[in-house]
Chains A and B, each alone.
Chain A
């Protein structure tokens, strides 16, 4: 490797130093240092995010886009400033295309209800993948029930990789919406979104990407992905809960009817009828989660300073280490072995139910998720009631993986009695 190629690699990330930015990590749980490996459920918040939210309430709190008074102006500035940070973060062409929602779920439901209801009818099809989170299944089922459209499912193989040929074959002129997860929350699979989007566009469908599990773990550029809609949540991005983002192509958002009616989304209201505000406000009825949006902006600043590429490299090394350890751990099976994976390890231990695994790991201070991960069709496919899942974030270290495997060994010996 020459030095030019070496320079393309980001500087190594010092996870041990970064841990100091996250006050919650510095605590004992059940007498052990907390090992937080549930990042796919939600990430912890750095002090700068906590401070940004507290500072907003302490100094600038007011409603946005309404008052002529100073606080309202400052609140609006911070709110719109965060929108610009989000725009730059995902490389959206314009702030008009960045809609704040309650989260990924809210964003997907917005598209299903607004775009879906006005564009789909009987005979049309919505195509999803077999590895979707319930949030990218149920809104489409509701839409199909309302419009008479049909939900189609692109299958995956036993490694949890999408079957590309089947995906292609399922596309037709009937396909109006293709809704795919960027990264599977239950399996870790990274889907080849660029390629899938290109194919879906050739069939004439619009494409929505569920980015809940991708934005905090690799650089995301919505223009290079080519998708029409991209949804994600603040709380999986080291930001506050209750706030998320819908990116939508401006021409599509312009043509879509409002979903929720109320304040801030209108231009004029009379009892004879109302007219709608410009983008993105047309889709932001009611007082938004202003402090949450400000916190999300701070989280993006924090991640930008570290660099998403450095985070991705760090997490991939953790994934490689955990996968290698899992392969040598007797009685352990990883569910989800895609060749392109995010740092999520879903697993089973022979003869031990995931819930028991979760409780015993917790007694050792190790926090993982157990259950169906809001992906019951995935559990049905792999014929398991549930899995245990360790998911990694920027502050996790090789020591955390040691603690995880020590606790797994302890669980196995407890059950071997």
Chain B
């Protein structure tokens, strides 16, 4: 049960119960649709990038497990106000943390908040739940309108 508490921390339940920035933006500059074909979970991300390349607003919508909902919710809080370039660095950092494949960088101030999701690295079947929102937002930033799956 210790491992399980490591994965399902109170913060996860909180974001699952009341996800932040939930819904879709009416006039997004970028959006993307993410699918995890293994479980059928779907997620939409829409965002507004201002003229300086900063993420002015960011919302998500979809239904998924507690891990994927909490991860998407925390992601929107983390990335708002950052530049697309900085968002990409957070993607890499989060991916490294969730998969445990490479050392997690230490110089990103908002990373502390994301650490509640680091428990997924011990649950290989659940890593994609945590990374779906991140894949989707990256795809949105790379293409104005896109569809992405965790299997690509």
**Which A residue sits closest to B1, measured CB to CB?**
A363
Range of interface residues on A (Cβ < 8 Å): 10 to 19
A-B contacts, CB under 8 A, total: 53
B64 part of interface (Cβ distance < 8 Å): yes
B125 to A: closest C-beta gap in Å: 8
Q: How far is the CA of A72 from the CA of B14 in the complex (A)?
A: 65
A417 part of interface (Cβ distance < 8 Å): yes
Q: Are A371 and B39 in contact (CB under 8 A)?
A: yes
A379 part of interface (Cβ distance < 8 Å): yes
Q: Are A385 and B39 in contact (CB under 8 A)?
A: yes
Chain B neighbourhood of A352, CB < 8 A: 66
Q: Are B13 and A415 in contact (CB under 8 A)?
A: yes
Q: Are B13 and A385 in contact (CB under 8 A)?
A: no
Which B residues, 45 to 94, have Cβ-Cβ distances below 8 Å to chain A? 63-67, 69
User: Do A353 and B7 form a contact, CB below 8 Å, given A363-B1, A386-B39?
Assistant: no
Question: Which candidate, A149-157, A195-203, A354-362, is the interface stretch facing chain B?
Answer: A354-362
B residues contacting the other copy or chain, number (CB 8 A): 22
Which A residues, 233 to 267, have Cβ-Cβ distances below 8 Å to chain B? none
Residues 9-45 of B, flagged 1 when their CB comes within 8 A of A and 0 if not, give 0100100000000000000000000000011111000
User: Do A356 and B40 form a contact, CB below 8 Å, given A363-B4, A414-B8?
Assistant: no
Q: Are A356 and B13 in contact (CB under 8 A)?
A: no
Q: Are A359 and B7 in contact (CB under 8 A)?
A: yes
A78 part of interface (Cβ distance < 8 Å): no
Instruction: Identify A356's interface contact among B1, B38, B42, B65, CB under 8 A.
Output: B65
Q: Which has the most chain B C-beta neighbours within 10 Å: A353, A363, A371, A379? A: A353
Which A residues, 203 to 244, have Cβ-Cβ distances below 8 Å to chain B? none
Instruction: Identify B40's interface contact among A30, A363, A376, CB under 8 A.
Output: A376
Q: How far is the CA of A379 from the CA of B129 in the complex (A)?
A: 19
Q: Are A417 and B65 in contact (CB under 8 A)?
A: no
User: Do A355 and B13 form a contact, CB below 8 Å, given A360-B4, A385-B63?
Assistant: no
* Among all A-B residue pairs, the 3 with the closest Cβ atoms: A353-B65, A355-B65, A372-B40
17 A-B contacts, Cβ less than 8 Å apart?
Answer: A353-B66, A353-B69, A355-B39, A355-B67, A355-B126, A355-B129, A359-B7, A360-B8, A363-B3, A371-B39, A371-B40, A372-B40, A376-B40, A385-B42, A385-B63, A386-B39, A417-B10
